[in-house]
Copies of this chain bind each other. A is one copy, B any other.
Amino acid sequence: MSDYVVGIDLGGTKIYTALATLDGQVLAEVKVSTQPEKGYRAVLERMVATVEEVRRQAAREQPPLRVGLGVPGPLDPVLGVVHVAPNLGWRDMPVKRDMEALLGVPVFLDNDANLAAWGEYRFGAGQGVRHLIYLTVSTGIGGGLVLEGKIYRGASYLAGEIGHITLWPEGPRCHCGNYGCLEALASGTALAREARELVSKGKGKGILSQAGGDVAAITARTVGMAAAAGDPEAFALFQEAGRWLGIGLATLLNLLNPGVIVFGGGMMASSPFFWDRMVQEMQRRALPATASAVQLLQASLGGRSGVLGAVALALEPV
């Protein structure tokens, strides 16, 4: 029997693959670009090449015992079909079957947010905390739920769409079609939208200068740079995002009473500008006993949450 597994975190821009022993020790890692424009088959072959590369690095002649694979989009882990992966241009792809044919070993699928949650539960900030919510705040807002020590997937494997809880029924339109979703209010995309609106009103000079004077170049990152430089308008935008995040957290607390919420995603680089405001708003709104039961932590695996979650899935498939 093989003495190792492989985890793959497939993203729109990169493939991140790790090889680990059966007790979870990572022996080799590799990252390559995804190149989704080359098509479905080419992406699968690039993933297979990363598996070969980590095997070579770890000097393993035998194939892995199992492979865990995280995909950015809703999927059916039982059928092994990816319904939609917008960043890859995939629709109803039988990824499990096709990867198993290429690799000759069992492949287990889950979506990237679930596996990031699972990675932080198994190896990271929320290690062993029975009820964990992982929240990623980035261009979008996503999440994964670990309840009773297991990934909670729901009736059609769509649970954990934390970005799409409604916080302001008459708020800005979300790309999902709804109005006032958390994602439409507190994501990096929402922050950049608010910053551009400010500029269009003749304000936000500090933000604009960080974007080289180009309104279209304003992103959450440039707003973060302005806030870091002491710009009060940039800081106010983060405070407002923090307020919405806090309102969303209160709903998560009262509904799911988690023991820990782990935060990941690119916007956490700017967390000093919104963290306290977020916590304050959460405490103001949540039932005191749910607020006192939770720990708010930053992800400790950083960009490795997903790939280590894929490793954990391969170690203990469902």
Contact = CB atoms under 8 A, between A and B. Distances in A.
A310 B250 CA distance: 30
A155 interface: yes
A169 B245 CA distance: 12
Contacts of A168: 168-169
A258 B154 contact: yes
Interface in A63-96: 74, 83
Residue of A179, A252, A255 most packed against chain B (CB within 10 A): A255
B290 A161 contact: yes
Nearest to A178: B285
A55 interface: no
How many copies altogether? Answer: 2
A254 B156 contact: no
Residue of A83, A159, A251 most packed against chain B (CB within 10 A): A251
B155 A258 contact: yes
Contacts of A289: 74, 83, 156, 158
A204 to B, nearest CB: 24
A157 B147 CA distance: 13
Interface in A293-310: 293-294
Interface string A100-125: 00000000000000000000000000
Interface in A257-297: 257-259, 284-287, 289-290, 292-294
Interface residues of A, number: 48
A285 B166 contact: yes
A187 B290 CA distance: 22
Given A166-B247, A250-B178, A285-B178, A155 B255 contact: no
A165 B293 contact: no
Pick the 6 closest A-B CB pairs, nearest first: A154-B257, A155-B259, A156-B293, A159-B257, A161-B254, A165-B251
Interface of A: 74, 83, 129-131, 145, 147-148, 150, 152-162, 164-169, 176, 178-179, 247, 250-252, 254-259, 284-287, 289-290, 292-294
